[in-house]
Structure 1
Amino acid sequence: MEIDYSNIKVIGFDADDTLWVNETYFRDTEEKFANLLDQYETKNQIDQELFKTEIKNLELYGYGIKGFMLSMIESALDLSNNKVSQTTIQEILNLGKEMLSHPVELLDGVEEVLLALKDKYRLIVLTKGDLLDQERKLEKSGLSSYFHHVEVLSDKKEDNYKNLLEHLGIPSDEFLMIGNSLKSDVLPLLNIGAKAVHIPFHTTWQHEEVRQEDHDNSHQTLNVITDILKYLK
Structure 2
Amino acid sequence: MQHSRKLTTIGFDADDTLWQNEQFFRVTEKRFAALLADHAEEDRISARLLEAEKRNLAVYGFGIKGFTLSMIETAIEVTNGQVPASTIAEILAAGREMLNHPIEPLPHARETVEKLAGAYRLVLITKGDLFDQERKLAQSGLGELFDAVEIVSDKSAATYSRIFSRHGDGPEKGMMVGNSLKSDVVPAIEAGSWGIHVPHDLTWVLEHVEPPVSAPRFRQIANLGELPGLIERIGEID
TM-score, normalised to structure 1, is 0.94
Deviations 1:50-102 (A, max 9, x none): 00000000000000000000000000000000111000000000000000000
1:170 Cα shift?
Answer: 3.0
Counterparts of 1:1-233 in structure 2, within 5 Å, are 6-211=5-210, 216=214, 218=216, 219-233=218-232
* Cα contact 2:176–2:196 (8 A) shared by 1: yes
What is the rounded CA distance, in whole Å, between the counterparts of 1:198 and 1:23 in structure 2?
17
What is the CA–CA distance in structure 1 between the aligned matches of 2:181 and 2:79, rounded to whole Å? 36
Give the TM-score of the pair, scaled to structure 2.
0.92
Segments of structure 1 that go 5 or more residues without pairing to the other structure are none
Mapped to 1, the partners of 2:231 and 2:5 lie a distance apart of 8
Question: Identity percentage over the alignment?
Answer: 43
SS of structure 1 residue aligned to 2:231: coil
**Aligned-residue offset at 1:215:** 5.6
The alignment's C-alpha RMSD in Å is: 1.3
Provide Cα deviations, 1:123-175, integer angstroms capped at 9, x if missing partner.
11000000000000000011111000000000011122222233335311110
State the SS of the aligned residue for 1:8.
coil
Distance 1:37 1:160 in 2: 39
Aligned letter for 2:151? V
Q: For residues 122 and 80 of structure 2, what CA distance do their matches in structure 1 show?
A: 49
How many equivalent residue pairs?
A: 228
- Asked if structure 2 preserves the Cα contact closer than 8 Å seen for 1:187 and 1:215, the reply is no
Q: What is the Cα deviation at residue 39 of structure 1?
A: 0.6
Give runs of ≥4 in structure 1 deviating > 4 Å: none
Where structure 2 has 5 or more consecutive residues not aligned to the other structure, the ranges are: 233-238
